[in-house]
Amino acid sequence: MLRELSSAQLVAWGNAWLAGQAGLDDAVDAVERRTGPHVVGDVPPGLPFEAGAPLRSALARLRSHGLSAFRLSLPVPGDPLGLVGAADLNTAAIDAREAVLVRLADRQVGLVPGEDRRGSSYVGVAWTPYPAADTDPEPVPLADAEHRLTLAIRESAALFGQVDDVSTWSPEVTRALADLRDADRAPSDGLAPGHPQRAHRLAAQADRLAVVVRLAGADDGRGLSAAQMESRRRALRVLDSAVRRARVAAYGAAATR
C-alpha cells in the first residue's frame, strides 16, 4: 500500500469535484501533493483510458463517459472491503491493499495504484484500470464505522493490556500512540470540501490509528513471549479492520449516485 493512501485522496477529491465543491485542477493538485504526478498505467482493451495520460486528462475523459462517483476499497486477504469483482481487479487490489471503483454511465471500472518510478529521481503513481462488476459495494455508514472504531479501540486496548512489557514498543510506535490524544481535535488534511464534519473527525482518528497499526505491525516485539505476541497480533487485526472501515466511510462520505 502506498504510504499516502492515494486511493483515499482520489475518492475524496474526485467526489468533491463531481459535486462542484472543488475545481478539477484543485482536485488533481490535492491528490498529487504528497505523491508526485499521477498517470494512467497499462490499459486493458475496451476501457476508456489512454496509457500514460496524466490524471487531469484521464478524469476529464471519464467525465465524458458519464462519471458519477468514486468509491474507496481497502481490502486485505480474507476481507475484500469495498470490492465487487472481477477476479483480476480483486487480486490486484488486495495485493495493493487499496483501489478505487469508478462509476461510469454504462459500466464500473476499478483503478489500482502502484508506484511509478522512472530513472533515479522520478517517483509518482500509476493507476492500472480493470473491468469491474457492475454492482455497487456494500455501503459503510459513518455512524456504524464510528461505533465500530470505538469498540475496536476498547477491545484492542484490553488485548494490548495483556502484553506485560509495554516498553518493548519501538520509539516510532510510542510516538504514534502519543499522537492519538490529538486525534479528535486535529482535522484530517485528506478530506475535501463537501464532507460532513463527522467524516473529518472520523478520518483524522482513523488516519492516526492507521499509523499505529502500520508501525506496530512492523515491530518485532523483542522480549515478548509467544502468548504476548499473539495478543498483540489480535489487537492489531481488530484495529486494522475497524480503521479500514472508518476510512472507507469517511473518505467516501461525499459519494453520490
Sign of the C-alpha dihedral, residues 157, 162, 165, 170?
Answer: negative
At 135, is the secondary structure helix, strand, or coil?
coil
Q: What is the pLDDT of residue 52?
A: 96
Specify whether the CB–CB gap between 217 and 169 falls below 8 A: no
pLDDT category at 157 given cuts 50, 70, 90 is confident
pLDDT at 176: 60
Contacts of 191 (CB under 8 A, 6+ apart): 12, 199, 200, 203, 250, 251
Torsion sign (Cα): 78, 82, 85, 89: negative
Q: What is the pLDDT of residue 172?
A: 66
DSSP string for 5-54: -HHHHHHHHHHHHHTTSS-HHHHHHHHHTTT--EEE----TTSS--TT-B
- Kindly give, in sequence order, each residue whose CB lies less than 8 Å from that of residue 251, ignoring residues fewer than 6 positions away: 8, 11, 12, 72, 190, 191, 199, 203
Closest to 244 (Cα-Cα) out of 6, 2, 8, 20: 8
Residue ranges of the domains in the chain? 6-132, 142-251
Mean of the pLDDT values across residues 126-139?
Answer: 96
CB 70 within 8 A of CB 14: yes
CA-CA distance, 53 to 149, in Å (whole number)?
38
Beta bridge partners, 110, equal 101, 130
pLDDT at 90 over 80: yes
pLDDT tens-digit series, residues 35-63:
899 999 999 999 999 999 999 999 999 99
Show the cell assigned to 197: 464534519
More confident residue, 222 or 225: 225
Distance CA 254, CA 27 (A): 14
The whole-number average pLDDT for the span 197-219 is 85
How much is the mean pLDDT over the chain? 86
Give residue-wise pLDDT tens across range 228-256. Answer: 777 778 888 999 999 999 999 999 998 85
Give the pLDDT band (50/70/90) at residue 117.
Answer: confident
φ and ψ at 130, to 5 degrees?
-140, 145
